[in-house]
Amino acid sequence: MFAEQTTPNIRHDWTKEETLILLQKPFNDLVYTAQQVHRQNFDPNKVQLSTLMNIKTGGCPEDCAYCPQSAHYKTGVEAEKLTTIEEVISQAETAKNKGATRFCMGAAWRQPKQRDLEMVIPMVKAVKKMELETCLTLGMLSLEQAKQLKASGLDYYNHNIDTSPEYYSKIISTRDYEERLTTLKHVRNAGINVCCGGIVGMGETQKDRAGFLLTLANMPNHPESVPINMLVKVEGTPLDDTKETDPIEFIRIIAAARIMMPKSYIRLSAGRNNMSDETQALCYLTGANSIFYGEKLLTTNNPQLTEDRLLLKRLGIQPNKN
Ligand code: SAM
Ligand code: DTB
Ligand code: SF4
């Protein structure tokens, strides 16, 4: 579990200044370094495919300013009950048949109650039995809850830090950064792989982006999976009219994440529906090697499967096999 700490070239001591210097490098130099690091650690022509399913939609008590599922905002997303295990099995089967290797189930909760967990555990077991990797994102977890999920066969838990410690309180007031880090510790200590990243394009500064990246890179063990989302602007949320992010700036974050966390899977996550093929190609070039694959994310749209397959084919990138 602590092997990374002794692996040469894997650092956990990034400073804000160094991270800013990296983010501000001439673009070609940054791309070159990121591609070198990528090739030293991964097959550059492979991508991991994860499919998302929203198992509990809307009505969330948290006030995350980006989120269409928060009960604080009128976004048109109606609160629903937890889905059924039959529906999970059916969607997981489809995802597997279409080529996904991981099935990620998300719930709009602050923290699951014991009875919620008891409903979710059979879902994890059923998906695992289908020889898919399992991932959950349910909000905060106690150590005891994380251990229960580990015992049920859970492979990954997604819990994002979203942005820098300094910018966090501008985005969410119903919980703090420390609570996020505590859940991540519980997940790690329970022996579950950590999936942790955040969102670019919420009005944060480059310093915030550096703070976000170094919080991830200075964790005692790097998250195995790092989702980098481009904000999907949803009408009714406070971030609806945020200024567009320059795609070049987004690619810089992907490249810096690859350099700072050489062995992690960097997932080009939400926001691909608004990205050109060329932007996505540059993300793959600079080290992104995982995507959400499926027509829907949680409540918003993702590219069509045919579109993704075509782009991967044009780039000569092969999906990882089950
Ligand atoms: N409720 C759980 C939680 O917050 O951890 C799990 C689900 S939550 C929707 C998972 C992540 O999706 C968030 O942490 C955020 O990074 C991302 N996300 C949510 N809405 C988004 C949006 N509009 N654009 C981009 N990413 C978003
Ligand atoms: C993550 O980092 N991105 C995913 C997943 N983890 C759960 C969610 C993206 C949600 C985008 C907005 C929506 O569809 O509601
Ligand atoms: Fe709730 Fe998660 Fe959305 Fe925040 S991001 S409002 S915790 S569903």
Q: What is the pLDDT along the chain (322 residues), one digit of tens a residue?
A: 334 445 667 999 999 999 999 999 999 999 999 999 999 999 999 999 999 999 999 999 999 999 999 999 999 999 999 999 999 999 999 999 999 999 999 999 999 999 999 999 999 999 999 999 999 999 999 999 999 999 999 999 999 999 999 999 999 999 999 999 999 999 999 999 999 999 999 999 999 999 999 999 999 999 999 999 999 999 999 999 999 999 999 999 999 999 999 999 999 999 999 999 999 999 999 999 999 999 999 999 999 999 999 999 999 999 998 6
Question: What pLDDT is attached to residue 7?
Answer: 61
Of 297, 232, 224, the residue nearest 52 (C-alpha): 297
Q: Is the four-CA dihedral 231, 235, 239, 243 of positive or negative sign?
A: positive
Q: Is residue 289 within a helix (H) or strand (E), and if so which, with residue range? A: strand 288-292
Sequential DSSP letters for 225-270? EEEEEEP---TTSTTTTPPPPPHHHHHHHHHHHHHHSTTSEEEE-T
C-beta separation of 293 from 317 below 8 A = no
Active site (annotated) includes residue 196: no
Active-site choice (188, 195, 196, 283): 195
C-beta separation of 22 from 247 below 8 A = no
297 lines ligand 2 (CB under 6 A): yes
Place of tokens 């015992």: 151
Q: Which ligand lies nearest to the CA atom of residue 69 in the structure?
A: 3
Of 135, 315, 101, the residue nearest 227 (C-alpha): 135
C-beta separation of 227 from 261 below 8 A = no
Q: What is the C-alpha to C-alpha distance for residues 23 and 26, in angstroms, rounded to an integer? A: 9
Ligand 2 centroid from CA 154, angstroms:
19
Question: What pLDDT is attached to residue 3?
Answer: 43
C-beta separation of 215 from 161 below 8 A = yes
Strands 156-158 and 193-195: parallel
162 lines ligand 1 (CB under 6 A): yes
Question: What pLDDT is attached to residue 1?
Answer: 36
Active site (annotated) includes residue 283: no
Atom of ligand 3 nearest to the CA of 106: 8
Strands 265-268 and 318-319: unpaired
Of 158, 154, 90, 89, the residue nearest 117 (C-alpha): 154
Q: What is the C-alpha to C-alpha distance for residues 49 and 75, in angstroms, rounded to an integer? A: 29
Q: Which ligand lies nearest to the CA atom of residue 292 in the structure?
A: 2
227 lines ligand 2 (CB under 6 A): yes
Active site (annotated) includes residue 135: yes
| CA-only gyration radius of the chain, Å | 18
Q: What is the C-alpha to C-alpha distance for residues 80 and 142, in angstroms, rounded to an integer? A: 24
Q: What is the C-alpha to C-alpha distance for residues 66 and 321, in angstroms, rounded to an integer? A: 33
> Judging by beta carbons within 10 Å of its beta carbon (0-12, 13-18, 19+), is residue 203 exposed, middle or buried?
middle
Atom of ligand 2 nearest to the CA of 298: 14
Q: Which residues contact 39 (CB under 8 A, 6 or more apart)?
A: none
Q: Give the tokens for residue 79.
A: 């609160």
Strands 318-319 and 102-107: unpaired
Ligand 2 centroid from CA 232, angstroms:
9
Question: What pLDDT is attached to residue 12?
Answer: 96
200 lines ligand 1 (CB under 6 A): no
Ligand 2 centroid from CA 130, angstroms:
23
**Through-space distance between the first and last CA atoms of the chain, rounded to whole angstroms:** 24
Q: What is the C-alpha to C-alpha distance for residues 43 and 36, in angstroms, rounded to an integer? A: 11
Place of tokens 């349910």: 138
